[in-house]
Structure 1
């Protein structure tokens, strides 16, 4: 059964969510006695198990014998690795910034996302507190702090000791 690229995993997971199908798949995988297991089921249940296994793409029927489809999991993993992140997700790995966008619009989107996570409207924090919050999102917290100020999302006091979400940053929270 051909699946849309990127969604081949769905029927496999759906099949494995069914306890009877999961046992049958496990028997196939481990070389157990699938025939005895299926023979113990009613004809309709047996047909259902076989239908779900083959529809998943993880198993094929060859001359009435079920066999594992050896490439299904590699194909699913290949689909996942080909999937491209969109929006600011392209610049994040596990919720941390790995690179900054070259585009000013995308950089603003990323910095707006950061501002929304590290400061609340009306909150004033010290430089060490803001730096600690930014360290969760990026390796170079000082650079990220500077970007937030330069882009106009965060205001810094004259002495550099206090930071607040400014009007531009606060507008992004309500938008």
Structure 2
């Protein structure tokens, strides 16, 4: 499986980077490799082939693979981007429905169905996502994502949410 790492690897070597730049500027592969030793040409051809950035028929830059990588990266983003970044909550959604979905998503990451935990344990788990864990816990109760004992001794996922 080819990855974005193969494309970025093209930028690490000065000569490979120069050949790649010439491809981006419109030269074909033979023109971009002109003047290089045969062994160096072969190594660069292999790197470009691995990165899938050259059309094998025309020898010209082909952006399709990079477009595919970008599309795949978009799909790999966190399901609640831009509200989450690096696994941390950066802001709550404005709409009630989206906020409820985010809260449910986070609650399911900290609690298993049927699991009951003490408030202190829930706070510890929520702290992985935000320093305002008490606020998040309260939102989860207010939105009906979590249920709790009246005395606050236990919290669990609302199975009907």
Task: Tell me which interval the TM-score lies in, with the shorter structure as reference length.
Answer: 0.5 to 0.7
Q: Is the 8 A contact 2:88 2:129 kept in 1?
A: yes
Partner of 1:111: 103
1:12 maps onto 2:7 in alignment: yes
Cα 1:132–1:22 change in 2 (3 A) is same
Report how far residue 48 of structure 1 moved. Answer: 3.2
TM-score by length of 1: 0.55
Cα 1:40–1:138 change in 2 (3 A) is same
| 5+ residue gaps, structure 2 | 20-32, 55-69
Report how far residue 41 of structure 1 moved. Answer: 2.0
The structure with the largest helix share of the pair is 1
1:142 maps onto 2:140 in alignment: no
Cα 1:115–1:139 change in 2 (3 A) is same
- C-alpha separation in 2, matches of 1:147 and 1:159: 18
The count of residues paired between Structure 1 and Structure 2 equals 122
Cα 1:158–1:50 change in 2 (3 A) is closer
Q: Is the 8 A contact 2:10 2:16 kept in 1?
A: no
Q: Deviations over 1:56-94 (max 9, x none)?
A: 59xxxxxxxxxxxxxxxxxxxxx9xxx8x7851111121
Cα 1:105–1:40 change in 2 (3 A) is same
Partner of 1:38: 36
Q: Is the 8 A contact 2:10 2:48 kept in 1?
A: no
Report how far residue 10 of structure 1 moved. Answer: 7.7
Q: Deviations over 1:114-165 (max 9, x none)?
A: 1110110110100000000000011100000001111111111010121011
The structure with the largest strand share of the pair is 1
1:100 maps onto 2:116 in alignment: no
Q: Is the 8 A contact 2:78 2:84 kept in 1?
A: no
Partner of 1:66: none
| 5+ residue gaps, structure 1 | 1-8, 29-34, 58-78, 170-175
RMSD: 3.8
Match of 1:25 among 16, 38, 43: 16
Partner of 2:116: 124
